[in-house]
Amino acid sequence: MWKYIVCTLLVAAFAACNDDFDLRNEESRLVVEGWIEDGGYPVVIVSRSLAVSTEQQQMADLGDYIVRWAKVTVSDGTESVVLTGKYDKGYFPPYIYTTGRMRGEAGKQYTVSVEYGDYYATAKTTIPAVPEYCTFRVEPCEHSDTLYQIKATFRDNPAEKNYYQLFSRVGTTSRQYLASYLGSLDDAVLGTTTEVSVYRGQQLKLDDYTPYYTADDTVSVKLAHIDETSFRVWDSYTKTLSLSNIMFLSTSSDMESNIVGGYGYWCGYGAVTDYIVIRDSVRACPPESDKRD
């Protein structure tokens, strides 16, 4: 039973924000969401785009757009591995392609290809180096006794051109990270050592959204060093999602995608991850004089 529109289909839906692009007349295409992290296994989610329609559709029918029998291959230029599809309730939609036979390695380029009937999509990405230094801390929000924010402090090499993406995951049941609100960072606006807020990831649900956290939250946070192509994808995504909630504003272009032959993204991450229990972090918060510089 599907309670929400499949998240991968949102990639196609966002394209409809452009007045010159009409999804109602377009054939269904592959939608690919995939990533590979330094030291981690590749994960790929595949679906088909859902055309915009004025006719009412049943939520149960949306499951028909999940692609369960694709051939998904990842290559590092030397070795190619065909991923195995499996049900995994830690992701949404709860069906992924992955493997235990290949781990990501910083500095390498990875190609993903997806074959499904007459459909074919492919993309390339690189995994940058893991940030040398990064810490996370919790502090109360101003003018609130119940909300908290997470701050990330990290170093950027001024001799290099770098891009970063912040992710967050709330709770212990999901394994899927959401792009942090306003979490796409170009080092052109960063210092050598920078502190930024890690806001809660945003989803298109009916409940009210807050970028902050409560004392009952258990949060996993990730700072990912990404390449320029991945930055353009995530920066476009977060801006589109933010503007979609403002009645009188809209984006002027389609959402970025690096998938050739479809929609979506394939990104490599050199990432630092931490797990934070907000209540415990607040209790353990040291005095200002004891905090690290």
Task: Write down the pLDDT at residue 293.
Answer: 43
Report yes or no on 292 lying in a domain. Answer: no
Q: Distance between CA atoms of 212 and 145, rounded to whole angstroms?
A: 12
What's the pLDDT band for 6 if we cut at 50, 70, 90? very low
Q: Distance between CA atoms of 202 and 210, rounded to whole angstroms?
A: 8
Report yes or no on 1 lying in a domain. Answer: no
pLDDT tens across 13-43, in order? 444 344 444 444 467 899 999 999 999 999 9
Tokens of 134: 């990064």
Q: What is the mean pLDDT of residues 211-217?
A: 95
From start to end of the chain, where are the E strands?
30-37, 43-48, 71-75, 80-82, 84-87, 95-98, 109-116, 119-126, 134-140, 147-155, 163-170, 178-186, 193-198, 213-214, 218-226, 262-277
Report yes or no on 4 lying in a domain. Answer: no
Report yes or no on 291 lying in a domain. Answer: no
What's the pLDDT band for 283 if we cut at 50, 70, 90? confident
Task: Write down the pLDDT at residue 247.
Answer: 40
Q: Distance between CA atoms of 260 and 30, rounded to whole angstroms?
A: 10
pLDDT tens across 117-148, in order? 999 999 999 999 999 899 999 999 988 889 99
What's the pLDDT band for 55 if we cut at 50, 70, 90? low
Report yes or no on 293 lying in a domain. Answer: no
User: Between 209 and 278, where is the model more confident?
Assistant: 278
Q: What is the mean pLDDT of residues 216-229?
A: 97
With a CB cutoff of 8 Å and minimum separation 6, the contacts of 158 are 187, 192
Q: Provide the residue range defining the domain that includes 162.
A: 9-249+258-286
Report yes or no on 103 lying in a domain. Answer: yes
Q: How many domains does the chain have?
A: 1
Across the chain, what does the average pLDDT equal?
Answer: 84
Task: Write down the pLDDT at residue 27.
Answer: 78
What's the pLDDT band for 275 if we cut at 50, 70, 90? very high
Report yes or no on 34 lying in a domain. Answer: yes
- Alpha-carbon radius of gyration of the chain: 19
